[in-house]
Structure formats: C-alpha cells, structure tokens
C-alpha cells in the first residue's frame, strides 16, 4: 500500500492552493455579499487548465487524473465554495457528459471549448417536482420533422445563465419503453435555441457567487442530432455522471471543512479569554482536534474513491460513502467553527459565517444524505 501522492498530484495541489490563497480567498467575502459571478477568476482558472482538468489534451483538457481533480476542488473550496462549485459543476456535470457519451463530432464541437474554459455548460436533471426521484422527469420532447420540440422546466441548474454559458444538457421523456415506463433521453440545449428561457439568478443562502437558475422550455426547437448518447439511455447516463459528481461534492465538503478549521485554529490562538488564548482550554482544543480528525478521515475517503475511479474500478460505493461522510463532517465542522468564534462567528466579516451558510447544500446537492443512505443500503444488500 502506498498513500503518497505522485509528484504531479503534489504539484497540482500546491499550485491550486497558492492560486486559491492568493487570488480567490481575498475576494470571497465580497463575491458572497454582492452575489457576483467571478468571470475573471473563471478566466484565470481556464488559463491554469482547471476548467478541463481531467480531460485529455486532445480535447483541450489538462490530462490530469481524478485524484488531482479532487485535490484541486478541495483547495478551491478551502478558500471559497462558490468558486469551487463553479469549477466542479462545469467539469464533472457540464463537460463530463460530452466526454463520456458524446460522438467524436460532439466532443469536438462541445467538449473542446468547455475543457479550455472558454464556455460554461449546465446539467439539467432536477425539476421543480423531480429531485431525489430524478426519474420522475416531466420535461417532454417530441420528434417532429427532424426537430425535437421540448417542453418543461428544470430547477437549480448551476452555470446555466452566465454570459459565457453556451447551453445545458437535459433529461427529457422522449417516448414510452416497451415495458410502459417513460423513455428518457439526454438532449443538448444550446443557449440560443428558440423557446429556451432562463430565470434570473436564484437568491441563495450559500454558494451565492455561483450562477444557479431555473430553465424553461416552451415549444423549444432543437435539431434531431442534438441527442447525447443513445435514445432511452438518458437517466442511466446522467446517474453515471452523478456517481462521479459525488467525488466533487465530497471534495468540496472536505475543502470547506478545512477552510473552517484553518480559521478556527487561527482564531483560537489569537483570541484571549480568562487570561490566555482560548486554544489552551480543553473545551476549544478538543473541538479543534475532533475537527482535524474527521477532516483527515473524510479526505482519505474522498481520495480513495478518486483513486478507484482512476484505476478503472467500480467506485460507486466509495464515492457514496465519501459524499455522505464528508457532507456530514462539513456540517459538524462549520457548526463548531462558528461556536469557537462566539459572537464574531455570527458576523458577516468573519469567513466562518459564510462557510456556515455555504455548507448546507453539501448535504443536498448530488444526492441528499438520505439518497446516499438509500444507495448504500441497496449496495450493502439490505
């Protein structure tokens, strides 16, 4: 067994850490307050190769592995969860479907500009009435005269409405299977398709500098060739994407927790009460030690899932464990981080207050804690 990172993985972690510390962290408070999407940071991340991190160079990517990807997401989230989700959703939800299911022509046309970070792309699975039961999609598409006519609504779609967004891939019911169940396919919806409109940005509790919108399709027309993967494979393929996406949110949770931990250590050493730094009181020190222990644990779980994916093994169970545990760890850590900060932790100018708000979605996005438990119960054989 060998738990060392490779020289490249170590170098990528160090580079993203420096970038996050120098370029992202100083902006996080303002971006959160203003709900400002950081176009310039996205351009810089594109320049570094982060927006296409795991894709081969021939498709405009950096050719790095999943372990490097997880490390990069952790380091970004340590500084700012909004920036991390913008990058992670773009890579693992926006671009990945083209890489895994696209024809070579679709890869050339869609994946290359996405991997280069020139454009962003959304992933349209969730609907107002189809969340955890993602198969209950109500969006419908009918093939008529060589065109798909799409009608329906998608909810909470990340990166779907920025000035650099080129489109969203969605699930839609495209017919009925022989067994009577709905046939679900993936369709490619370019931003300028007639009948495709986007809401204003949602106002959110956390991830406020990320772009999240509702998408509405009203007799929206796209070409017949805008189907991704085989007809009828849409739900299966999107759930495969979510398996990988769990590594993203698990990494994001670890990074966020690490950021809250960093702040707690710093504050506990600076803040004096009863004549000494509060870090010298066991009540505080033990909280911090518990944080460190749980973060270490969660990080190892994330890296294991990423490593299994890189080995080409089945990583579904590990990814689900990692997502569930890391999300819950991030909950406990931000809670204690605010507690350690006392009244200051409740104030906007302290990063832990933003982290507290940014944390909750980790337990909801890419499958709630409850959905993870359902998946795991099934995998365990219960």
Partner 1 sequence: MKIVVTVKLVPDPNAVRRIDPATKRLVRAGVETALNPFDEYAIEAALQLKERLGAETTVTIFTMAPESMKESLRKALAMGADDAVMLSDPALEGSDVSVTSYAMAQALKKTGFDLILSGALSDDGNTGGVPGALAEYLGVPGLTNVRKIEEIGDGRIKAQRETDSGYQVVSGPLPALVTVTMAVGEPRYASLKGIMGAKKKTISTLSAADCGIDRLVGSDGAKMEVVSIAAPKAREKARVVEAEDGAAGAQAILDFLRERKLV
Interface residues with partner 1 (CB under 8 A) are 7-8, 11-12, 15, 18-19, 47-50, 53, 57, 62-64, 68
Least separation in angstroms between residue 57's CB and partner 1 is 7
Category of 381 on φ-ψ map: left (φ > 0), alpha (ψ -120 to 50) or beta: left
Least separation in angstroms between residue 304's CB and partner 1 is 22
| Nearest CB to partner 1, comparing residues 265 and 376 | 265
Specify the 3-state DSSP secondary structure of 317. helix
| Nearest CB to partner 1, comparing residues 3 and 7 | 7
Least separation in angstroms between residue 216's CB and partner 1 is 37
Give the closest residue to 242 by CA, choosing from 187, 180, 320: 320
Give the closest residue to 318 by CA, choosing from 334, 304, 332: 304
Least separation in angstroms between residue 43's CB and partner 1 is 13
| Nearest CB to partner 1, comparing residues 67 and 361 | 67
Least separation in angstroms between residue 237's CB and partner 1 is 27
137 Cβ contact list (under 8 Å, min separation 6): 125, 127, 130, 152, 171, 172, 173, 182, 184, 235
Specify the 3-state DSSP secondary structure of 201. coil
Cβ of 292: how many Cβ atoms within 10 Å?
A: 16
366 is catalytic: yes
Q: How many CA atoms lie within 13 A of 139 on its CB side?
A: 33
- Active-site residue, from 299, 308, 363, 366: 366
- What secondary structure does DSSP assign to 345-377, as a single string? GGSTTSHHHHHHHHHGGGGTTTS-HHHHHHHHH
Cβ of 178: how many Cβ atoms within 10 Å?
A: 6
CA angle 107, 42, 126 (to 5 degrees): 65
- Which are the catalytic amino acids? 366
């Amino acid at each position: 067994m060998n738990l060392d990172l490779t020289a490249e993985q170590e170098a990528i972690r160090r580079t993203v850490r420096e970038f996050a510390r120098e370029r992202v962290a100083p902006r996080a408070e303002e971006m959160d307050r203003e709900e400002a999407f950081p176009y310039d940071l996205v351009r810089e991340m594109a320049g570094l190769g982060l927006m296409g991190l795991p894709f081969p160079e021939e498709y405009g990517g950096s050719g790095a592995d999943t372990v490097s990807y997880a490390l990069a997401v952790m380091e970004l989230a340590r500084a700012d969860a909004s920036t991390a989700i913008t990058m992670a959703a773009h890579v693992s939800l926006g671009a990945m479907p083209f890489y895994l299911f696209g024809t070579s022509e679709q890869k050339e046309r869609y994946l290359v500009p996405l991997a280069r970070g020139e454009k962003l792309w959304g992933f349209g699975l969730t609907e107002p009435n189809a969340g955890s039961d993602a198969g209950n999609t109500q969006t419908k598409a009918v093939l008529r005269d060589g065109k798909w006519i799409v009608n329906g609504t998608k909810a909470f779609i990340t990166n779907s409405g920025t000035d650099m967004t080129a489109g969203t891939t969605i699930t839609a019911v495209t017919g009925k299977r022989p067994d009577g169940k709905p046939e679900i396919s993936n369709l490619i919806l370019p931003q300028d398709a007639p009948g495709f409109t986007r809401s204003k940005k949602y106002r959110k509790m956390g991830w406020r500098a990320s772009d999240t919108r509702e998408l509405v399709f009203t007799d929206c027309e796209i070409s017949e060739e805008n189907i991704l993967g085989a007809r009828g494979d849409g739900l299966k393929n999107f759930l495969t994407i979510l398996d990988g996406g769990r590594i993203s949110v698990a990494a994001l949770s670890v990074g966020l927790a690490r950021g809250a931990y960093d702040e707690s250590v710093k504050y506990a050493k600076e803040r004096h009460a009863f004549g000494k730094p509060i870090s010298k009181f066991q009540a505080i020190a033990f909280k911090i030690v518990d944080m460190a222990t749980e973060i270490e644990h969660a990080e190892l779980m994330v890296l294991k899932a990423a490593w299994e994916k890189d080995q080409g093994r089945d990583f579904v169970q590990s990814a689900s464990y990692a997502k569930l545990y890391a999300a819950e760890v991030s909950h406990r850590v931000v809670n204690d981080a605010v507690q350690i900060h006392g009244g200051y932790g409740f104030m906007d100018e302290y990063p832990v207050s933003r982290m507290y708000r940014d944390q909750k979605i980790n337990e909801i996005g890419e499958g709630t804690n409850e959905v993870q438990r359902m998946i795991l119960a099934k995998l365990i054989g219960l």
